[in-house]
Amino acid sequence: MAKSTQILIVGAGIFGVTAALELAERGAGVMVIDPGPLPHPLAASTDISKVVRMEYGTDEDYMALVEASLPGWREWNDLADKTLYHETGVTMFTQEPMQPGGFEYDSYEMLLKRGHQPERLNADDIAKQFPGWHAGHYVDGFYHKLGGFAESGRVVETLIAEGKRKGVTFLSGQKAVEILVDGGVVTGVRTEDGTEYSAEIVVIAAGAWTPVLLPELAPLMRITGHPVFHLQTDQPELFSPPLFATFTADVARTGWYGFPLHPTERVIKVANHGVGKVLHPEHDERVVYEADEANLRHFLRSTFPALADAPIVYTRRCLYCDTLDEHLLIDQHPELEGLYIASGGSGHGFKFAPMLGKIVADRVEAKENQWLPKFKWRTLPPSTSGKEAARHHG
């Protein structure tokens, strides 16, 4: 069996579907293959919510990229004719006064520098405006009205549907296992069932499976799993806007972040953006451990007393495709002509979704793009530390 297309994209997560949509809008013939079902239940993109925030400490590039993404999020609400992006605002609170060099302080100052209007809050302000928080435990921070969360799984579903309307072919049940190369030029891929797909250009957007398909990326990437919890509450008003927003809780020190009561699922999602556990995307179980739940309960008791004993109705271990420096990887393979990589979300890539497709398409078409230098293929020593300012690095 053999099939042919102009551009073949491997992976139907957020990198793959946005690239497919943008390339199709630019006139290319595009096919996307994925093990499926779509959206893939194990993909990092698949969940009820992902944070959309522009706060990145001193990293002005990422703040500018989120600024450029926000109009797209609002446009996708119109495209879907329903709310996919909920602009609840974002609270970022600290247990000690904010100081220069801290994620929250540097983010606050960068917001001011770029003309935004975050609202600085002290312990009394937090207790008054956001009563679900443990009064007095968090003493500083801010609320920023721009930002919130996207219903990530529904976003992917919507973009797949739009891609089909634009002429993109999506094939589920097709797991790529080999990149086909002839004389240093990529000619396509072979899938697990033996089907060969030929293409002029191949884009690997396989998330946590990327270094499995391309072992030469293993020194640049690690796959880490992070605990996610969905909680029920008997006080929905206390954890709904405007009394509760998408939040980080001293996140660079603790890793904890989360969301207000979900409008349709009626749960509160809380997760940890931290060191995680190194896992293989196929060979290791993606389970949440007793120690993860114990850490969650400790956090809830100190931060949201009304959730301290809240029932946990769902857990997952979300797999990040981390680059060692935690910057995205969007570039052409340095040795194989016709092969491109769009991966390395490192646990913070989804918020850029309205811009991701444009960045990938510009790289494929060899067009200038202000963010491509940051995301280029690079050699990193094993000692490289992560640069994502909100992440708890242990």
pLDDT tens digits, one per residue of 372-394: 999 999 999 999 999 999 999 99
Strand-strand pairing, 169-172 and 30-34: parallel
Return d(Cα 68, Cα 347) in angstroms, integer: 19
Domain ranges of the chain: 93-146+222-323
pTM reported for the whole predicted model: 0.97
Q: What is the mean pLDDT of residues 229-245?
A: 98
Quote the mean pLDDT of the chain: 97
Give the mean model confidence (pLDDT) for residues 283-295: 97
CA atoms of 346 and 336, how far apart (whole Å)? 24
Q: pLDDT tens-digit profile of 322-360?
A: 999 999 999 999 999 999 999 999 999 999 999 999 999
Residue 46 pLDDT: 86
pLDDT tens per residue across span 121-171 = 999 999 999 999 999 999 999 999 999 999 999 999 999 999 999 999 999
311 Cα distance to chain centroid: 26
The answer on pLDDT for 1 being more than 80 is no
Given a cut of 80, is residue 2 above it in pLDDT? no
Q: Specify the pLDDT at position 4.
A: 86
Q: What is the pLDDT of residue 3?
A: 84
* pLDDT of the residue at 79: 87
Average pLDDT over residues 240-265: 98
Mean pLDDT in residue range 81-91:
95
How does 291-314 read in b/e, with b if 16+ C-beta sit within 10 Å? ebeebbeebbebbbebbeebeeee
Tens of pLDDT, residue by residue over 261-277, are 999 999 999 999 999 99
pLDDT in tens, 184-224: 999 999 999 999 999 999 999 999 999 999 999 999 999 99
Judge if the upstream peptide bond of residue 39 is cis by omega within 30 degrees of 0.
yes
Q: Please name the residue that has the structure tokens 């242990």.
A: 394
93-146+222-323: which CATH architecture? 2-Layer Sandwich (3.30)
Mean pLDDT of 55-61: 98
CB 275 within 8 A of CB 284: no
Q: What is the pLDDT of residues 21-36, one digit of tens each?
A: 999 999 999 999 999 9
Continuous H helices in the chain: 14-25, 60-80, 103-113, 123-129, 152-165, 210-213, 251-254, 290-303, 353-364
The per-residue DSSP string of 255-312 comes to -EEE-SPPTTT--EEEEE-SS-EE--TTTS-----HHHHHHHHHHHHHH-GGGTTPPE
Distance of alpha carbon 206 from alpha carbon 89, whole angstroms = 31
Look-up: residue for tokens 């790289």? 363
